[in-house]
Structure 1
Amino acid sequence: MNGVTNNVVMCRGTRRTLMAIAVASVLGMGYGLPSLAVAQEAVPASAGDGSEAKTLEAVSVVGSRIRRKDETAANPVFTMERNEIEATGVVSVGELLQELPSVGSSFNSTGSAGTSHGTSSLNLRNLGANRSLILVNGRRWVNGAGTRGFRDFVDLNTIPLAAVERVEVLLDGATAIYGADAIAGVVNIITFSDFDGVKLSSYVGGTDKGDGFTHNEDLLWGKSGDWGSALVSATIASSKEILAGDRDFSRAPLQGLSRNTPAGRFKNSIAVGSFGTKAFVRDGAGGYRLDVPATDVYNETPDTTLVGPSDRRGLYGQLRFHLGDSATFVTEGLFNSRESSQRFPAATPRIRGGDGMTIPVDHPFNPFGVPFQGSGTNFEVVRMITELGPRINTQNVNTMRLAAGFEGDFSNGWSWNTFYTYAQNKAKWTSANQIDLDKVALALGPNARCAANSCVPLDIFGTITPQMADYIRVNAVDRNGTKQHDFTANLTGDLFALPAGMLAFAAGVEYRKEIGFDRPSAYVNEKPQFITYDRKTTSAPRLPTRGMYNLKEAYVEFNVPLLAELPMAKQLELSVATRHSRYSTFGGTTNSKFGLVWRPWGDLMLRTTWAQGFRAPSINELYAGLRQTNLPANDPCNGGGAGKPGCAGVPVGYNQANYSGGSIHSTVGGNPDLRPESSVNRSSGFVYTPAFAKGLSWSVDWYDIDLKEAISSFGSQNLLNLCANTGQRCNLVRRDTSGEIINLTDGPINLNRLRAKGVDTTLRYQLPKLAIGNLDLMFNAAYLTAFDRYDTLPNGQVRVVKRAGKSDIARESFPRWKANTSLDWSRGAWAANWSMHYIGNTDEGAAPGYGRIPAQLTHDVWGAYRLTAKPVTFTLGVQNLFDKDPPLSYVNGGDLNFDMSTYNPRGRFIYMKAAISL
């Protein structure tokens, strides 16, 4: 099926898991899952360990569609088997892959202020989730849905982990082999196909603080015979919420407390008693006093989400039916559902005279004897209405996938397959406990107008009753989704013999159609009737979106043996591939790839590749409707900007950080003028398996990815800094007379160029069998040499932003070092594992005391016992054994004080698992 079989090139007789080791104590690195950047090279079994060499069949692994029997590959590929997956103690595909050292900041369930909204992404090489291609059984997966609109990348939470037999990862450009989006690499998730029997497993866990309870139940049933095979997999998974107030490091924001308080802050253009036109607040004893900006603040963080809750249900089925000896009919079906949610602070309505709001002197809840009115912020009420309860966003996402096709072999040994897949994601987004600003205007405005509209008057200066809260409450519903049609046909085999071996080839065609739609709440998008502000509610309006494109592709790939069994050339082999793609939106493009493998002698293999990459703008990037949102940033013009050219006119007393934790009112949307991206990927490396040390292998790979016409938003912080420091692009930053940013416009543009360079290394050693048992050792690390952005400014100047080793823009972190180590032990019915995860330090250049995010090293341990009388295994494990908190970050942390796309904030997590095979 698309070049994927149920056999995989793997180490003979070895037993590896994805966790812990003591090598970190020697090399100063830390733990984890194995790197995706290193090919899994064959390692002979230790003498006397009872293992037997396996006869290798002709197979294909990710990175090539040519089937072959040897283990040589020009591409750096790593494979994780099912036993290794289970050893990690994770319950989702996203958790499994995001621990890898070569993966950058990725969406996960952490935080409410992020943009994950329950999704899980994979950001290979720090190049973005939409530049990492996700395959399932060698075929594309449908893009995600369920945020404020649809996604342009795969949501890994839509793939049930229980159905996964193994994962293959290629960290190299593969556009010529698999088509667009494979710029950073390819992940091929392979499901079970010939499982025979029944397997049941149950997983429960929680933190030592009594929260974050997680449970997971899996069922796997399979039957196989001469007729073919059938398989069913089912999963029920649930994880509970952890709030920011439940952890010391996130209880109060480093960036300062909010000026949006439940006590309120009131200011009028007409003098109010002894306060005059100065701001005043409620004093907590039924009276009022002058506002004190330094102390009249509120900590809105404790009741927000630190780790979001999620409930998933998954059902996967597969039928393989042999049609004689040379053909098999294959069909697959999947249904997955997810419900996730995020909790935010209670809403604060915008009540300003400049927006047409008024409070008449005869309003039943105006105790001051003067009307509240005026332009701009001369009349302003700022009060967080906690009586509404926290804002809660909920996502209900259903994924359906149906596929059918045929595969087989010709009499000459060539293999073929053809497959059609239809998949869709449908999502419902509910935004609860928002505020209707039109109804606020009615409830505060003239009494006659209120009565004519059957409104409930609002006591904004005093006690807000449940009836008042219910009147102004809005629960909005959006719907969005994606669809995909995909047809593929592939052929592979040997053409003829050359002096050094057989010339092998693969060829194929593909037709794909992508569709995306977004239908935001009609009520939220209505124009307000009673105010002049551009929002009817506190929920962000946006325009609807619908877009589609299709493409037709054809590729050919050759594997050419050049030399074999010669002095200093035990093997020399060339691989070549090229693909032509024709998009309905951008026309045609041809991209090629070349790879060379040289084995001077049996212990050493050297490899290098050169590959062209291509990615057309996604539906979301092209056609997403304009929407209002809040983007994280700190205003460089705070305090007047100290003479910066782009801060002219900003008052010295202005401080944007006083508003809602540093978020900026912004407008974002698609850009139909975008151009496609193109890249050149270069990689070189070696694999060393010394004969004098059986079971030892060491791999190193260097990479250099040069991405041109890179599609990205300029970034809220980048825009503000650029405007303030140079005066450029200030037309995208709109301020009022107080200095406050009214709106910032950001969206996708072709940023000209990105360049990423780095090194990946993996060291594995299966020690000879010892009296104390079997020991497997692994060390895996990724070093980011450079990550540079080349931005072309309006005056033609090119600005270079060096990001490697930095974390100075919200939600983007580029630590130079990430590493994993593991030590795995087994003896008889017992097994144990110790692992470490290391994330290097990063500079963020923020406020004094927070200029650097320090390195983090965490430890995991687990132990397992297998009953000998029955096929039952019990496992007890602890993740983050020493309860390390994520390192603090001032800039990247937002209200939660840490980089939520990089670190796990749960703390010490204890789990138990029981599995039975029948």
Structure 2
Amino acid sequence: MRIFGDFYYVDAKTHDELAPTATGPFELPGRLALFVPPNHPFPGGVPPFGGPTPAEVGMSPTAFNPFNPFEQIISGGTNARIFDFGDRLVDNENMAERFTVGVKGDKLFNGTWGYDGAFMYSQIEQISRFQGINIPHFERILNAADPLFDPTSSEFIGQTIPYNSMADTQHVTFPSNLPLIDFARLHTRDLFTSKLATLDLNIYTTDLFDLPAGGVGLAFGGVFSRESYRIDLDDQNRLGENADTATFAPVKAGRKSWGIYAETLIPIFSPKWRIPGFHSLEFSAGVRYDEWLNNDTNAAVPKVGVRWQPFDESLTLRSTWGEGFLEPSMVQLYGPNRFLLAPAHFVGFAPVAQFGPQGSPTNPLQDVADPETTVEQVPNKNIRPEHDRSWTGGIVYTPKWIPPKYGQLTLTVDFWDVERSGVAMFFSPSAIINGYNAGIFPGVVIPAPVTATQPAVVFDPAGNYSGVLSPYQNGGRTRTNGVDLGLQYQVETGVGTFSLLSRWGYLNEMVVNFPGSRPRQAAGTSSSEWFIGSFFGDVTSPQGWLKWKGDTLLDWTWHNWDLNWTVHFVDGFWEQLFAKQFDGKWKRHWVDATWFTDAQLSYSLIFTPPVEAAPVPGYSKGGKEMVGKEKEAPPTPYAMPCWKNILNNTTLTVGVTDIFGEDPPHSFGFEFGNALGYPGSFYDNLGRFWYVRMIKKF
């Protein structure tokens, strides 16, 4: 029996600066309302020229701002940024740790069985700090009647002039605004913690019993896991005071699960039989069962495979078929709520119960084409595991006609097909709007509480369309297929070993079918497509489904040196810029393909104890040289110097990514909403990056 263990720890810090806070809709679900008080207090607290009332936006009836040229509360929506407060600052620190301890052995039962078991614990803790705008404080500096501007008040801020939101502070400094900025500046600190503990045991043998073609293999085992997930929020985020996010509720959740599995390998034909066409043939089969105790769900899935070598080891045909499952993530089950943006075209009326008959003066027809509709994603504790069926079939060819002195070549071709059902996703805004107009989904008026049981259309207190709400649901389907290609070549020379490894993947089709919609082809396109992107997330930060993607690695090793050169290829794809539903025209943009090159050089310090040139008494001896102990000389110790023991099995590495400093391709996103300017799911903004690394093995 052997005992093993490992430990891993990393502390990573990042700093990002984002554009100043955008105004957008002043009233959003789950956030305090933004508003600019009227030029003068309303007589009797009633707006003389219409518009929102003080009660609707949470404003004091005596509030006013002399820089507002209108005798109305400004609380609709604008496409502007509040430049006075500067860029938003985001600082994240991630501390990850993991340790494993276990046992393994190969002398179980009659000596033909092996086993391994381990306990693993991991934890990730993220500290997120954010600098932005505090809404209640911002509204106070907008209100000239606030005690902040009363010289007789204990809260007097030192001036009687309120904040001027009408000044063009991007180009001209408005001096009286500057002292007020620090008062309304927001600083938050959120803590996210996730933990995972697992205990597993595996028992296996390659000789359960013998068949004419060889021994039957069997493996079985089980696992128990416990996850916990916790979000501790800054009070300003919990109360909806952050102008850049909605209200987030603290989350404390967890789940336990256990599973068992068994698999077998059955040989049918053996090379020793020398049967033409059946040099080797073997079948594999397995089954796995998992149960989650938090929501009383379970899944059992099978898998079968075949491996056939018709002539010799140079040609292998292989195939597998199986079913799988994917338990919903903790975010999908327990939250927090997420607010994203997606295109939508609302044509309809506000809820009749609150705003009267459809078509009446208090409830007119609304026709709102909004490429950035607010979508609130709501967790759902009742969603079930996702299921899939997958098939693979391929060829491995290692030609024997190449002489060994010219190296060894291996070619692989693997076709694959995956069908997923019950995919956990949210409804698109268009599907929710159609359901609302058909009377299937309800309408919710802010600030009424929303439920997580079904989708809904959201309206502001005045009855204007504001966005949609959708809990995660099971119901999406996808069908994906393609081919993976591989080439490996290795040759040994007098100046080292040269290796070439090339791996490429081709996506033939990616068909997605959402609840209430027809199947759509997504291969070679981006999630910024207005309809498909509505289901996959924020269309302002798109991903893509690439047709081609590949890596080619050239490696040279000699003694303890290792030099490799890697070329990466990322295919281009189409992204949608405009849609007829919102712009009256349809236009797409081709995001260019890219080639990136990396290199890395390593040297390994490997020292071995000196080897005796001749047998040393007491250290080693041959059978014929053994004599009585009384004639043996004292043993001679053999040891390396201390510095060699310390540095032994240490690898030093220097490398560079993106050697030629290639920039990511331009990506605009739907309605030019991609704030990064490049596909953030595939690329980063590091450019050429040098690094050094040291790895010590004990």
CA distance in 1, matches of 2:481, 2:215: 35
Cross-structure match for 1:583? 292
Among 192, 203, 206, the alignment partner of 1:480 is 192
Cross-structure match for 2:18? 344
Q: Is the Cα contact below 8 Å between 2:202 and 2:222 reproduced in 1?
A: yes
Among 311, 315, 319, the alignment partner of 1:601 is 311
For residues 583-628 of structure 1, the C-alpha deviation after alignment (integer angstroms, 9 at most, x for no partner) is 211333321111111111221011111111012223221121435x
Cross-structure match for 1:885? 663
Code of the residue aligned with 1:409 in structure 2: it is D
Cross-structure match for 2:252? 546
For residues 312-336 of structure 1, the C-alpha deviation after alignment (integer angstroms, 9 at most, x for no partner) is xxxxxxxxxxxxxxx2233443333
Where do residues 381-780 of structure 1 align in structure 2 (5 Å cutoff)? 384-410=81-107, 411-432=110-131, 434-447=132-145, 449-450=147-148, 451=150, 454=155, 456=157, 458-460=162-164, 461=167, 462-493=174-205, 494-526=207-239, 537-565=243-271, 566-584=275-293, 585-602=295-312, 603-627=314-338, 629=339, 631-634=340-343, 663-693=372-402, 694-714=407-427, 732-734=456-458, 742-767=466-491, 769=493, 774-780=497-503
CA distance in 1, matches of 2:435, 2:385: 27
Q: Is the Cα contact below 8 Å between 2:263 and 2:286 reproduced in 1?
A: yes
How far residue 780 of structure 1 moved from its aligned partner, in angstroms, is: 1.5
SS in 1 for 2:400: coil
Cross-structure match for 2:623? none
How far residue 842 of structure 1 moved from its aligned partner, in angstroms, is: 1.4
- Taking a change above 3 Å as real, the CA distance of residues 910 and 851 of structure 1, as seen in their structure-2 partners, is closer
- Taking a change above 3 Å as real, the CA distance of residues 331 and 574 of structure 1, as seen in their structure-2 partners, is same
CA distance in 2, matches of 1:619, 1:557: 29
SS in 2 for 1:837: strand
- Taking a change above 3 Å as real, the CA distance of residues 913 and 545 of structure 1, as seen in their structure-2 partners, is closer
Q: Percent identity?
A: 23
Among 571, 588, 595, the alignment partner of 1:857 is 595
Q: Is the Cα contact below 8 Å between 2:344 and 2:372 reproduced in 1?
A: no
For residues 836-892 of structure 1, the C-alpha deviation after alignment (integer angstroms, 9 at most, x for no partner) is 221222122435885222222233456678999999998775543443322222227
CA distance in 2, matches of 1:865, 1:675: 50
Cross-structure match for 2:554? 823
SS in 1 for 2:523: coil
Cross-structure match for 1:103? none
Among 556, 561, 572, the alignment partner of 1:841 is 572
CA distance in 2, matches of 1:500, 1:550: 42
CA distance in 2, matches of 1:726, 1:352: 29
Alignment root-mean-square deviation, CA: 4.1
CA distance in 2, matches of 1:501, 1:338: 51
Cross-structure match for 2:622? none
Q: Which has the higher strand share?
A: 2
CA distance in 2, matches of 1:547, 1:351: 32
Q: Is the Cα contact below 8 Å between 1:440 and 1:458 reproduced in 2?
A: no
Code of the residue aligned with 1:502 in structure 2: it is G
SS in 1 for 2:223: strand
- Taking a change above 3 Å as real, the CA distance of residues 723 and 783 of structure 1, as seen in their structure-2 partners, is farther
Gaps of at least 5 residues in structure 2 are: 28-32, 42-61, 168-173, 348-363, 444-455, 534-538, 579-585, 608-643
Code of the residue aligned with 2:590 in structure 1: it is R
- Taking a change above 3 Å as real, the CA distance of residues 464 and 739 of structure 1, as seen in their structure-2 partners, is farther
How far residue 681 of structure 1 moved from its aligned partner, in angstroms, is: 1.1
Q: Is the Cα contact below 8 Å between 2:427 and 2:515 reproduced in 1?
A: no
Where do residues 17-28 of structure 1 align in structure 2 (5 Å cutoff)? none
SS in 2 for 1:438: helix
- Taking a change above 3 Å as real, the CA distance of residues 726 and 501 of structure 1, as seen in their structure-2 partners, is farther
Cross-structure match for 2:676? 896
Question: TM-score normalised to the size of structure 2?
Answer: 0.70
Cross-structure match for 1:170? none
- Taking a change above 3 Å as real, the CA distance of residues 383 and 471 of structure 1, as seen in their structure-2 partners, is farther
Q: Is the Cα contact below 8 Å between 1:360 and 1:446 reproduced in 2?
A: no
SS in 1 for 2:681: coil
CA distance in 1, matches of 2:288, 2:96: 30
CA distance in 2, matches of 1:873, 1:403: 23
Where do residues 871-882 of structure 1 align in structure 2 (5 Å cutoff)? 878-882=656-660
CA distance in 1, matches of 2:577, 2:459: 24
How far residue 546 of structure 1 moved from its aligned partner, in angstroms, is: 2.2
Code of the residue aligned with 1:561 in structure 2: it is P
Cross-structure match for 1:373? 72
Higher RCO, 1 or 2 (CA under 8 Å, sep at least 6)? 1
For residues 28-47 of structure 1, the C-alpha deviation after alignment (integer angstroms, 9 at most, x for no partner) is xxxxxxxxxxxxxxxxxxxx
How far residue 514 of structure 1 moved from its aligned partner, in angstroms, is: 1.6
How far residue 419 of structure 1 moved from its aligned partner, in angstroms, is: 2.2
Q: Is the Cα contact below 8 Å between 2:97 and 2:123 reproduced in 1?
A: yes
CA distance in 1, matches of 2:604, 2:459: 66
Q: Is the Cα contact below 8 Å between 1:524 and 1:541 reproduced in 2?
A: yes
SS in 2 for 1:758: strand
Cross-structure match for 1:812? 543
Code of the residue aligned with 2:333 in structure 1: it is L
- Taking a change above 3 Å as real, the CA distance of residues 824 and 800 of structure 1, as seen in their structure-2 partners, is same
Code of the residue aligned with 1:458 in structure 2: it is P
How far residue 730 of structure 1 moved from its aligned partner, in angstroms, is: 10
How far residue 828 of structure 1 moved from its aligned partner, in angstroms, is: 7.3
- Taking a change above 3 Å as real, the CA distance of residues 746 and 436 of structure 1, as seen in their structure-2 partners, is same
- Taking a change above 3 Å as real, the CA distance of residues 453 and 526 of structure 1, as seen in their structure-2 partners, is farther
Matched, 1:911 2:612: no
Question: TM-score normalised to the size of structure 1?
Answer: 0.54
CA distance in 1, matches of 2:426, 2:512: 12
Cross-structure match for 2:37? 358
CA distance in 2, matches of 1:553, 1:868: 42
For residues 39-93 of structure 1, the C-alpha deviation after alignment (integer angstroms, 9 at most, x for no partner) is xxxxxxxxxxxxxxxxxxxxxxxxxxxxxxxxxxxxxxxxxxxxxxxxxxxxxxx
- Taking a change above 3 Å as real, the CA distance of residues 506 and 381 of structure 1, as seen in their structure-2 partners, is closer
Code of the residue aligned with 1:668 in structure 2: it is Q
